[in-house]
Amino acid sequence: MIYILQHFRPRCPCLSKIPDTRLRQIQRKWRDGFLELEEEFNKREYTSFEVLTLPLLQITSRYPEQLFLAERPLLNRRGHAYAAKWLWNRLISGPRYNVSKVMLSEESYYCPSLKCPYFRTSRNLQHCITMTISEYQRMYATTPATDNAVTINYRILRLVDHLGWYIGVIIFLCTVSVFSLGTVFYCHGLKQTKGRFENVPGV
């Protein structure tokens, strides 16, 4: 069922004799039937399976007629691309997904979070929230500071930032020291006339 009836009616002769009020009633019953099916099934609270219904494809394109085949109630290639992107983003973000805020043709596919399941259902929706970067930045900017805020120690932060450099310097100095002391002991051993474990008379 397409959300824009005025663009769907000319392509389907069977709808020409049905008034708009009747079409809205049919559309409402169609939607309510799917939602009741989803709610009724999910009341059983299966642990490994859940039903998710999407009875309507919401079209907010400025030129919706370009999404259909000529004089036919079928989506063309561009319409299928539109429907695929809308369906994916709707499954990832849940019912809060509002395609009217941005042109779907300019919007990218949502990337699923690693901490949440792929598809937002009524069960995981309260624990898995998808938000845009601008929404996260706005929430972070308006979050008040807590009473037990930790004072930032910039010396520790500087030490952590340059930790790799400090470790490299220490390893380099240790290597130079080992080679230097080894060379000194080696040269000193070459000057000895007797071996270290050689027997000395009278001892």
Burial class (CB in 10 A: 0-12, 13-18, 19+), 90: buried
Tokens of 108: 């990218």
Helix (H) / strand (E) containing 189: helix 163-190
pLDDT at 2: 42
pLDDT of residue 1 exceeding 50, the answer is: no
How crowded is residue 188: how many other Cβ atoms within 10 Å of its Cβ?
Answer: 9
pLDDT at 200: 55
Residue partners of 69: CB distance under 8 A and separation at least 6: 75, 76
pLDDT at 33: 92
Q: If you average pLDDT over every residue of the chain, what do you get?
A: 77
Q: Where are the domains of the chain?
A: 5-142, 154-190
Q: What's the rounded mean pLDDT across residues 97-110?
A: 74
- 24-38, 66-80, 91-105, 161-175: the lowest-pLDDT one: 91-105
pLDDT of residue 101 exceeding 50, the answer is: yes
